[in-house]
Amino acid sequence: MRDFIKDLKKLVKTRYLSAMWPVGGITIIYIALVCILGFFSASIFSSMAMSMMMIMYGMTSPMALLAGLLEVLAGLAVAVALAFFYNFFTVGVQYAYQDRLVNPNQPVNAGSIWLHFKHLRKNQLWRIALYMGLFIFLWSLPLNIIADVVGGLTHNAMWLRGIQFLNDIVIAWKTIEYSQSYFLYREKQPQFLGQSMRHALTASRRFMGGRKWNYFLVMLVVVFVPIFVWAVIFGGLAFYGNYTATYVLTYIGLLITILGIVCYLPVVFAAQALYYVKSEEDPTQDVDEAFKDTFKPVAELTGEAYVHEVYAPKKEKKQPSPVAKKSKDHKPEAKKNDK
């Protein structure tokens, strides 16, 4: 842990501002757009509720409700597009820090981040993100169903909270297993052409075998605890300002909380890249072994393996005769002589 924190400081401190400005700026813009989108979505839902009441009294047509529904769908599409854009941006930042670990002269700034973002195979990365979300959802689905059934039958809050806690553990566990997917995808990027992107998740699960608790402790100490302490201190200041009606303290607390977390994001992205590089350098770790038996042969992907394959119909098996078999002990009777 000490060596990791020491290497992390060395990685981040050098030219920290050159990385902080693009990372913080894009993050603040993303947060602002999401907040604006949320505000407009709330307004649309309010107007749809009003339209429902007006339709009941015959004061408007159902087309007003349909228009509101289309606006909601458009807002949802914009929100998904923003989420994918920010995901691509964070992957570009992680790759920039990974390059810096390999070549210390490689800077992490707006230019290098933009270079990685521009050359990302986004049609592959968004499939990795979708697979990750789908698998985590499927793993958590049984516990969600059980929680709904138990909550509806027993109305016991303790049971419900216990199941939800187990569900959170499952989600965290699977998130840790898939945490190295983007880095492993980068290692074998040319081989992913025409292949399923879920192979990156399979490789990450194998790569993290025996490392989950180590990764959890590193991220807990380096990422979660500093952000949590910062949010508690200045979020508490905002709560105190709201509680005492001193709204200046509320705005100052919220502003400092957001800015502090945003300024700490380069450390978060650098820690993720550093963990992968250190794990890859482990002599007991083999990236090729993580991808074993995952990729299909090129001949199968191109169809070349089936070009000269000829269909041969199966021969019908002869059915046995329905005549009963003669017994071995049976001896034919001698013919009587009529003469």
Mean per-residue pLDDT, 255-281: 91
Mean per-residue pLDDT, 102-106: 87
Mean per-residue pLDDT, 76-105: 91
Taking Cα atoms as reference points, which of 71, 86, 70 lies closest to residue 40? 71
User: Which pLDDT band, with edges at 50, 70 and 90, does 226 fall under?
Assistant: very high
Q: Across the chain, what does the average pLDDT equal?
A: 83
- For residues 261 and 55, which has the higher predicted lDDT (pLDDT)? 261
User: Which pLDDT band, with edges at 50, 70 and 90, does 271 fall under?
Assistant: very high
Question: Tell me, what DSSP letter sits at residue 285?
Answer: -
Specify whether the CB–CB gap between 192 and 124 falls below 8 A.
yes
Mean per-residue pLDDT, 257-261: 91
Mean per-residue pLDDT, 102-108: 87
In this predicted structure, what is the pLDDT of residue 148?
75
In this predicted structure, what is the pLDDT of residue 91?
93
Taking Cα atoms as reference points, which of 140, 163, 141, 165 lies closest to residue 151? 163
Query: How much of the chain exceeds pLDDT 70, in percent?
Result: 87
Residue 229 predicted with pLDDT over 90: yes
Query: How much of the chain exceeds pLDDT 90, in percent?
Result: 35
Residue 332 predicted with pLDDT over 60: no
Pull the structure tokens for residue 205. 């699960």
Residue 321 predicted with pLDDT over 90: no
Predicted confidence (pLDDT) per residue in 38-77, tens digit: 888 888 777 777 777 776 666 666 676 777 778 888 888 8
Residue 147 predicted with pLDDT over 80: no
Mean per-residue pLDDT, 262-283: 90
Which residues are within 8 A (CB) of 246 and not within 5 positions of it... i.e. 6 or more apart? Answer: 240
Predicted confidence (pLDDT) per residue in 157-186, tens digit: 777 788 888 888 999 999 999 999 999 999
Residue 339 predicted with pLDDT over 50: no
Helix then strand count (H, E) for the chain reads: 13, 0
Residue 333 predicted with pLDDT over 60: no
pTM of the full predicted structure?
0.82
In this predicted structure, what is the pLDDT of residue 180?
93
Q: Reduce the DSSP state of residue 51 to 3 states and report it.
A: helix
Rg (Cα) of the chain, in Å, rounded? Answer: 31
CA 311, chain centre distance (Å)? 42
In this predicted structure, what is the pLDDT of residue 57?
66
